[in-house]
Amino acid sequence: MRKVDVGASIEWIGAAFAAVRAHPAAFLVMGLIFTVIPLVPLLGGIVILLLGPALLAGMIYAAREADQGRTPKVGHLFQAFQDGDRIGSLIALCLPVFAALLLMIVVAMPIIIAIANSGQIDAQTLSDQAALAAALHPILSAMAGRLLLTLVLIVVIAFVAGMLTFLAAACIMLGRDPAFVAMRKSFAACARNFGAYLITVLLLGLGLGLLRIVLSQLLPEILAAVLTSTPYYALLGPLTYAAYRSIFGDDTSAPVNEAAPPPPPSSSHTLEA
């Protein structure tokens, strides 16, 4: 595991843009599929939560194909499903996300209860954004310290979950690691290279947020969401691959499905011959 400079984050993002620019159709279509799945009512969010890591692993595989001079294909998005040994580990990567969501709810529960018990929020208030903001302002102002602590805890929880999963899909897909080994390696890599990880998260988050704000002013909300998330997800696979290769080294030259070479004959067979 390598220690990289903070500036490596710029290299990762640059490599991701280069991959998408070289193969826009494949990566943008994969990004669009990734974006559309959560929009499906009821089941979409659950599907992307459970299978999102497997789809990301497919995009990482496609990024490696592009990096090694082969042509990435939209079908690579589902590459992980062709290997039963990996799909279970990839699905297990949803566990940190589930745990993080539950912890965030627990942390935020005192504020939620305080708002509910204030008596100032009703169905009519919820339907009017201006009235809701006016009703929430004095409640939240009275608990500013608790609110700040809650926000800090939520950010910490999100970062821990992100560190556990950032490189885990690549560790499973390319490094052939089991789920919990992959999460441990991902967390250790992010902790050792926290500066590069932090800058990557901030740049992606800032870019995504600004693009969403601009598009929301010009387009319907659903279209703005699609046009924002599609390039984000298109970049995510190549970026993760670039970070994995930068930190763990170029040990992924053999295709994932390539069979291992047969072992040499044992000494007993040699003697018998």
Percentage helix, strand, coil for the chain under 3-state DSSP, each rounded to 5? 80, 0, 20
Place of tokens 């050792």: 192
Q: Minimal CA–CA distance to 27: which of 64, 57, 72?
A: 72
CA atoms of 198 and 97, how far apart (whole Å)? 18
Per-residue pLDDT at 265: 53
pLDDT tens, per residue, the chain with 273 residues: 899 999 999 999 999 999 999 999 999 999 999 999 998 888 888 999 999 999 999 999 999 999 999 999 999 999 999 877 899 999 999 999 999 999 999 999 988 888 888 777 777 777 777 777 777 888 888 888 888 999 999 999 999 999 999 999 999 999 999 999 999 999 999 999 999 999 999 999 888 889 889 998 899 988 998 999 999 999 999 999 999 999 998 654 444 444 444 555 544 444 443
- What is the pTM (predicted TM-score) of this model? 0.84
Per-residue pLDDT at 136: 81
Residue 70 in 3-state DSSP?
coil
Contact 110, 146 (CB under 8 A): yes
CA atoms within 13 A on the CB side of 206: 6
175 contact partners, CB below 8 Å, separation of at least 6 = 182, 185, 244, 248, 251, 252
Q: Minimal CA–CA distance to 230: which of 11, 20, 3?
A: 20
Q: Which stretches of the chain are assigned E, i.e. beta strand?
A: none
Structure tokens that stand for 57 in this block: 């692993």
CA atoms of 127 and 121, how far apart (whole Å)? 10
Contact 246, 8 (CB under 8 A): yes
Our separate counts of H helices and E strands in the chain read 13, 0
Place of tokens 């991902």: 186
Contact 100, 157 (CB under 8 A): yes
